Amino acid sequence: MEALRHETGAPSGSSSAVPPAPRVAGWRRSVRGPAAFVVFALAWEAAGRFLTGHYAFPPLSAIFAEAVRVFSTGTIYPHVAVSFLELFGGFLAAAVLGIVLGIAIGVSERTSDYFLPLIYAINATPIVALAPLLIVVMGIGILSKVVVIFLLCYFSILINTVAGMRNVDSALVEAAQAFGASRRQVVLKVLLPNARSFIVAGLRVALGRGLVGVVVAELYGSRAGLGWLVWYASEQMNIRLLFVSVLILAIAGIVSVVTLDHLEKRLAPWRKFPL
């Protein structure tokens, strides 16, 4: 033990090498995120007040005052409801179909041969560029927005699910088969648990793309929604209202990502950050 202390440079009898208690470490980690947001908010406020004009880049306090106004009058609630209804519909459909087809492709070589080249080709297509066409074909209702969001989310979930199903140690599969596990049991007990973290990562990426899809789809043709409100605010040169709309989507993204992080910790508790 003395030799180990000598090699690591820790003095004998010193407690400096003792790691912090789990409760203290958890408290420190919980403070880092809010601290970063506080610094960012202060920097935004200072930049809006002293470095740029209030008109082009308003301080965060002015945006907060605008948010209080539109929420107190209730004018923004219909736009929030429409955007989140579109996001929920497109993201949920993409999650269900992406995970199901991803599992099928991951476990079946024949299904992979049929679908994977086509999937890669469509994924390489700029879906945003097709948004105006989809809106012309399907109209300016909610359905066209849901389809745009679905296409932006779907392939991230699908490809990550396939990667998770295939990125499994072959020794685990061979061990399960050696103990007489059927194909179905190998999929449910070995492949799917391994793919959980990959699936959650795909959901996390897809959620960000879905939020972008909300704005893009509503910019091209809509009568309500936060994306439409962004367009309307820019036409009226109301920069504060524009930032309110963008920040609502950003806050929704943060809450969703944190929720998915907690879901990943429950589904894949063995995954740890490297030291």
Averaged pLDDT, 193-206 = 87
Residue 14 is predicted with a pLDDT of: 47
- Looking at the predicted structure, is the pLDDT value of residue 52 above 60? yes
How far is the first Cα of the chain from the last one, in angstroms, to the nearest whole number? Answer: 22
Q: What is the mean pLDDT of the chain?
A: 80
- Backbone φ, ψ for residue 268 (5° rounding): -135, 70
Give the tens place of pLDDT for each residue, 127-149.
777 777 887 788 778 888 898 89
Per the listing, tokens 């066209």 go with: 144
Give the tens place of pLDDT for each residue, 70-102.
899 988 899 899 999 999 999 999 999 999 998
Residue 3 is predicted with a pLDDT of: 47
Residue 213's closest CA among 154, 254, 255, 258?
154
Averaged pLDDT, 29-54 = 75
pTM: 0.78
Non-local CB neighbours of 78 within 8 Å, separated by 6+ positions: 224
Residue 128 is predicted with a pLDDT of: 77
Domains of the chain (ranges plus CATH)? 2-47 (no CATH), 75-267 (1.10.3720.10)
Averaged pLDDT, 220-235 = 84
Non-local CB neighbours of 244 within 8 Å, separated by 6+ positions: 63, 66, 67, 70, 76
